[in-house]
Structure 1
Amino acid sequence: MLAAVVFDFDGIIVDSEPMHFRAFNEVLKPLGIEILWDDYCSTYIGFDDRDAFRTVLKNNKKKICTKDLKHLIEEKAAIFQKYVQKGEATPLPGAVELIKSIPVRLPVALCSGALREDIIPVIEKLGIDHAFSAIVTAEDTPKSKPDPAPYRLTLEKLGIDDPASVIAIEDTPAGIMSAKGAGLKVLAVTNSYDREYLMEADAVTDSLEHVSRPDLENMVM
């Protein structure tokens, strides 16, 4: 029996990855660093801001102290919020409808590498802020996806002992690895990657418009 459904945020609920990409590059430009879109997709999608900055700086042979790293994260968050306030965070097809179709008795959670301050204004605007029994964000775990720590904490917050009874909905290989590492079953959506990159998931769909609550229940039968 399906015990809970856990949604990723970026690339699942909202089409926000291009916004994150632009915000990263705005912050990195004064450092003489630019992330190309293909590199962002292959390397940085799925990381939280902390690990993304650490990785890009390491790849560019630049060292940074904890204080300066915190400043970069805060600056990037402020830029992202500017985009949100302009109304650029648009929902992806089928996501809000699927969340709203799940009955109250079935817990819904959110597990994301984004900052809480990036997420809350968007889900409030979409009218789904009260839909989640648990929300895990970048600030909540010392390790981000693809490490299983975020999903393990999500299960803990939900009070669920059997991870195989929970469906995670993800759009990246890192997200799939995180959820599978914690023992969840995964439905992948080809919003950010082609199907061939998502085959470690238990099921793959081209859009959440094609997914219903009974489809999710059938995945754990």
Structure 2
Amino acid sequence: MPLRAIIFDFNGVIADDETPHLLMFQQALREEGLALTAEEYYGTYLGMDERNCLAALIEKARGRRDPACEQRVHDRKVALFRDYTATHQPELFPGVVDFVRRAKSRYRLAIASGGTREQITHALEGTPIEKDFAVIAAAEDTTIGKPDPAIYRLTLTRLNEAAPLSQPPLQAADCLVIEDSLAGIQSAKAAGMIVLGVATTYPAEALKEADTVYP
């Protein structure tokens, strides 16, 4: 079946901003007396959407769910990242702009990310690829994040609803997903899509569940 659509994860695939996200998480958690090491973040939580990441992290630290704490940390992290990006627009990975511009002439393009819509649109604002994605599915669009396949299933549905309508309708097997994390790879595979892992955040051997890995 020929490829007809490409769906991109955002953080670590389009935007080179995983480190600022970690630093803002660490500061927000520190204010609640909680700690997050880089090893924990990259080893366990990266790839999850922010709310589910915080729920899992706080439950592990305190032995129980604490929705009020989760909300405070989430809101504080969002505010910290907003302040950071007010003076530092996240950089796009080298080659991303050229790849997206070339791909747009042949495929439907979308973003499916555990980041917030505000973060995604801000990072794309003013770039040559700002308007190149037919669909942007963000953390607030699903109640459960990666590795659950919900966000990729939603993205496929929205691609089929977006103009110009695809004829025949897109199927999961028509879609190539580009991911940088194991949780994201598992999410896309569970949705029935083809997955390219990119070794921007993890070494290639950590992404072996993808159909192929670059480089």
TM-score (norm 1): 0.88
Structure 1 equivalent of residue 164 of structure 2: none
SS of 1:15's partner is coil
Taking the TM superposition and a 5 Å limit, the aligned residue runs for 1:64-75 are 65-75=66-76
Give, in angstroms, the shift of residue 33 of structure 1: 1.3
SS of 1:91's partner is coil
Structure 2 equivalent of residue 110 of structure 1: 111
Taking the TM superposition and a 5 Å limit, the aligned residue runs for 1:103-182 are 103-104=104-105, 106-159=107-160, 160-182=169-191
- Rounded to whole Å, the distance in 1 between the matches of 2:40 and 2:119 is 23
Question: Sequence identity, in percent?
Answer: 36
Structure 2 equivalent of residue 211 of structure 1: none
Structure 1 equivalent of residue 29 of structure 2: 28
Letter in 1 for 2:210: A
Give, in angstroms, the shift of residue 127 of structure 1: 3.1
Is the CA contact (8 Å cut-off) linking 1:155 and 1:163 kept in structure 2?
yes
Give, in angstroms, the shift of residue 65 of structure 1: 4.6
Is the CA contact (8 Å cut-off) linking 1:115 and 1:139 kept in structure 2?
yes
Is the CA contact (8 Å cut-off) linking 1:171 and 1:193 kept in structure 2?
yes
- Rounded to whole Å, the distance in 2 between the matches of 1:166 and 1:189 is 16
Structure 2 residue 48 is the aligned partner of structure 1 residue 39: no
* 1:132–1:163 Cα change, 3 Å: same
Letter in 1 for 2:191: A
Letter in 2 for 1:197: A
Structure 2 residue 198 is the aligned partner of structure 1 residue 205: no
Letter in 1 for 2:34: I
Is the CA contact (8 Å cut-off) linking 2:4 and 2:170 kept in structure 1?
no
Letter in 1 for 2:18: E
CA deviations over 1:104-123 (Å, ceiling 9, x no partner): 45210000000111111111
Q: How many residues align?
A: 206
Q: What residue ranges of structure 2 are gaps of 5+ in the alignment? A: 161-168
Give, in angstroms, the shift of residue 81 of structure 1: 1.6
Moved more, 63-72 or 12-21: 63-72
* 1:71–1:125 Cα change, 3 Å: farther
Moved more, 59-68 or 12-21: 59-68
Structure 1 equivalent of residue 165 of structure 2: none
TM-score (norm 2): 0.90
Letter in 1 for 2:180: D
Is the CA contact (8 Å cut-off) linking 1:167 and 1:185 kept in structure 2?
yes
Structure 1 equivalent of residue 13 of structure 2: 12
Structure 1 equivalent of residue 196 of structure 2: 187
- Rounded to whole Å, the distance in 1 between the matches of 2:123 and 2:190 is 28
